[in-house]
Structure 1
Amino acid sequence: MCAWAKDIGIDLGTASVLVYVKGKGIVLNEPSVVAIDKNSGKLLKVGADAQAMLGRTPGNIVAIRPLREGVISDYDMTERMLKEFMRKISGGSSFFFKPRLIICVPSGITEVEERAVVDAGIQAGARRVYLIEEPVAAAIGAGIDIALPDGHMVVDIGGGTSDIAVISLSGVVESASIKVAGDQFNEAVVKYMRRKHNVLVGERTAEQMKIEIGCVYPQEEDASIDVKGRCLVTGLPKTITVHASEMLEAFEEPVERILEAIHSVLERTPPELVGDISNNGIVMTGGGSLVKGFDKLVEARTGIHTQVAEDAISCVAEGTGKSLESLNAMQDGTVNLSRRRQMN
């Protein structure tokens, strides 16, 4: 059977796109970046190849991220990126059968933004497109049985949005989606380096710092990293040593906003479900949850046992893939997904 005849799940993230093919699992994990020639409009590279060009392109080439804060900011580029990823997973062969797609979206997405995602999927070659909220997919991917009358809280921290949701009986009971996540952590690092060290660093350097020494809870060992940037005083290259303890200060504002959102969702949750969550704990997913000490900080502030899912980065994609089993039921309208759209 050709690749396009299979059902496909897509975690269309601000930072990365993960593609799950039914029967095969996750077959693609690439950065959400495209590089184009401004003069001709030609698409030059997508994914990792395009990401390597960020901040390094000549005047006629621009590397852009077509998704911002969890939603499509450049429709045309998103459509072309999806088409290219579909071509990659098929080995470049031509298709006679179009797949059905399930695409993840933030829980706070508007109907206009939903329509943009559906249309992009259709234009990329899908026969029909369904949407599933990211925290629902994350819960499924983390191994939670969402069909039970039992409350679970999921905190999914991606690249552009953080989605917090209480899930029971296959639906979202209470949720919050805020545009504070991995990208804002990177911006916080850039601002901190400018403010404290008079050094300008790029987005990729900030990302590397977040991954290697980033933390939101005091660590036993104060790790460090040598960072290269441009001195704002002299305009010349400069290398300085930055410690993990400094990241605590750099991340303070975005972390507080995520904690406030978690607290707000808990406040609005029915008491019976809060009791369930106290027993079941809070599950964290997404790349942002891997910042050192995030689970400990959430546990300290809520008093509820918190853990990071085993494969936090792939949870949403895995959950989307597992939900492919329910596609026929979704067509019949018998699956209670909290938000879905379909288009012939």
Structure 2
Amino acid sequence: MSDDQETTQLLLGIDFGTSRTAVMSNRGYKKITRSIVGYPKDIIGIKFLGKSQVFGDEALKNRSALTLYHPLEDGVVREASEKDYNAALELLKHVINEARQGEEMEVAGIIGVPSRASIMNKELLLKIAREVMPVAMVVSEPFMVAYHLNKLNNCIIVDIGAGTVDICGVKGSIPGSKDQITIIKGGDYIDERLESTIQQKYYDVQITRNLVRTIKEQHAFVGPPEQPLNVTLRSDGRPGEYDITTEMRAVCESIVPDIVENVLTIMKGYDPEDQTEVLQNIILAGGGSNIKGLDKMVADRLSEYGEIGVTCVSDPDYSGCAGALKLAQDLPPQHWDKIGFAG
């Protein structure tokens, strides 16, 4: 890319996730926004908020006054839903306008999305992207993680997001549908089960999905606990300490069998002479990679297949969009249509 292009064109790497949308630019901009769009329920809400739509944490904070939409719920944009389409469009427009930082310039961006969306929703997502920037490409998030890490061959990326767990075999090119498996058991699945088990054990406590998500993000673990997990919850308005050690461990471990089974399925798609190397290059990414002890448990469950190497990315919040930005900078936008779905 020429110096003139570098100074006149804003390049973006966007990780358009079920739970969060992370953006990085070639001008140093870097921000995460929750993938939520809220619309006021009535005229009072518009007066209270002073706007007709809100995004991210602001939407979550004012949820009682809003109708909330999660554009990539379950890892896809529902094509039959005009409201979901519009929410995805408005969210993407919002994060891109923020990345402009008040400047008017040409924008080109690579968007990483859950594997399921990259396979099922490519054309739809590209249509949305074209409405907000003239040049765009849609690629699966796991491959963007691999690109960021420069792991472009003989590795498996396990991207544990909110809506899905995406398992991707990287073989030196853009992954196809046969190289990717999606499990509909991500962080939202853990939240749902944790909320249910807490309510069953402590029927009188007041618990919400948002509170459960916060507890999980702070305390999630698998394997033997180092100490009891006691959290503060409210019963009839009064705070108290509640032990949820067993419940947290059980729900977090519930995603492990599917991960192991599908890692093996992807591994068997490699030539046998490459499988030893592949099993030593399993990388956990996404918010779920923060679950304490998960890398060790996955490695232990795979141990009968030989020497296993499972590592976690150092920055799960930004590894996907960092890979997207790196690819955007390495390859001039006029060539994007040669490697992915571009427009």
TM-score (norm 2): 0.84
Question: How many residue pairs end up in the alignment?
Answer: 321
CA contact (8 A) 2:118 2:140 kept: no
Greater mean deviation of Cα atoms: 45-54 or 110-119 = 110-119
Question: Equivalent residue for 2:60?
Answer: 51
Whole-angstrom distance in 2 between the partners of 1:69 and 1:174? 20
Q: CA deviation at 1:29?
A: 0.9
User: In the alignment, is residue 90 of structure 1 matched against residue 100 of structure 2?
Assistant: yes
Question: Equivalent residue for 1:31?
Answer: 34
Q: 1:47 to 1:317 in 2, by over 3 A?
A: same
Question: Equivalent residue for 1:292?
Answer: 292
Question: Equivalent residue for 1:209?
Answer: 215
CA contact (8 A) 2:145 2:323 kept: yes
Question: Equivalent residue for 1:113?
Answer: 121
Question: Equivalent residue for 2:168?
Answer: 165
Aligned AA (2:243): V
Match of 1:79 among 83, 89, 111: 89
Whole-angstrom distance in 1 between the partners of 2:19 and 2:207? 19
Question: Equivalent residue for 1:134?
Answer: 141
Whole-angstrom distance in 2 between the partners of 1:87 and 1:155? 31
Q: 1:286 to 1:110 in 2, by over 3 A?
A: closer
Q: CA deviation at 1:119?
A: 1.7
Whole-angstrom distance in 1 between the partners of 2:213 and 2:251? 13
SS at match of 2:255: helix
CA contact (8 A) 1:174 1:269 kept: no
Once the two structures are superposed, what CA deviation does each residue of 1:92-133 show, in whole Å capped at 9, x if it has no partner? 45x3x431121112223366521221122122x200221111
Structure 2 residue runs of 5 or longer lacking an equivalent are 79-83
Greater mean deviation of Cα atoms: 297-306 or 42-51 = 42-51
Once the two structures are superposed, what CA deviation does each residue of 1:187-212 show, in whole Å capped at 9, x if it has no partner? 11111112222245211211122122
User: In the alignment, is residue 18 of structure 1 matched against residue 22 of structure 2?
Assistant: yes
Q: 1:87 to 1:127 in 2, by over 3 A?
A: same
Question: Equivalent residue for 1:302?
Answer: 302
Q: 1:178 to 1:291 in 2, by over 3 A?
A: same
SS at match of 1:43: coil
Whole-angstrom distance in 1 between the partners of 2:293 and 2:264? 18
Q: CA deviation at 1:322?
A: 0.6
Q: 1:111 to 1:215 in 2, by over 3 A?
A: closer
Whole-angstrom distance in 2 between the partners of 1:275 and 1:177? 23
Whole-angstrom distance in 2 between the partners of 1:313 and 1:196? 33
- Describe how 1:1-344 pairs up with structure 2 within 5 A: 5-24=9-28, 26-39=29-42, 43-54=52-63, 57-58=64-65, 61-73=66-78, 74-93=84-103, 95=104, 97-109=105-117, 113-123=121-131, 125-141=132-148, 143-146=149-152, 150-172=153-175, 174-198=179-203, 199-219=205-225, 221-229=226-234, 239-278=240-279, 280-303=280-303, 304-328=308-332, 331=335, 335=339, 340-343=340-343
In terms of fraction of residues, the more helix-rich structure is 2
Once the two structures are superposed, what CA deviation does each residue of 1:266-323 show, in whole Å capped at 9, x if it has no partner? 2333312212123x43111111111111101111011212111111221111111111
Q: 1:112 to 1:288 in 2, by over 3 A?
A: closer
TM-score (norm 1): 0.84
Whole-angstrom distance in 2 between the partners of 1:4 and 1:78? 27
Q: CA deviation at 1:328?
A: 2.5
Whole-angstrom distance in 1 between the partners of 2:34 and 2:12? 18
Aligned AA (1:248): R
Whole-angstrom distance in 1 between the partners of 2:42 and 2:9? 36
Whole-angstrom distance in 1 between the partners of 2:269 and 2:6? 47
Aligned AA (1:91): Q
Whole-angstrom distance in 1 between the partners of 2:199 and 2:8? 48
Q: CA deviation at 1:82?
A: 1.7
CA contact (8 A) 1:53 1:63 kept: no
Whole-angstrom distance in 2 between the partners of 1:332 and 1:259? 34
Whole-angstrom distance in 2 between the partners of 1:188 and 1:131? 32
Whole-angstrom distance in 2 between the partners of 1:323 and 1:307? 23
The Cα RMSD (Å) is 2.6
Greater mean deviation of Cα atoms: 243-252 or 98-107 = 243-252
- List structure 1 runs of 4+ shifted beyond 4 angstroms: 1-4, 235-238, 332-335
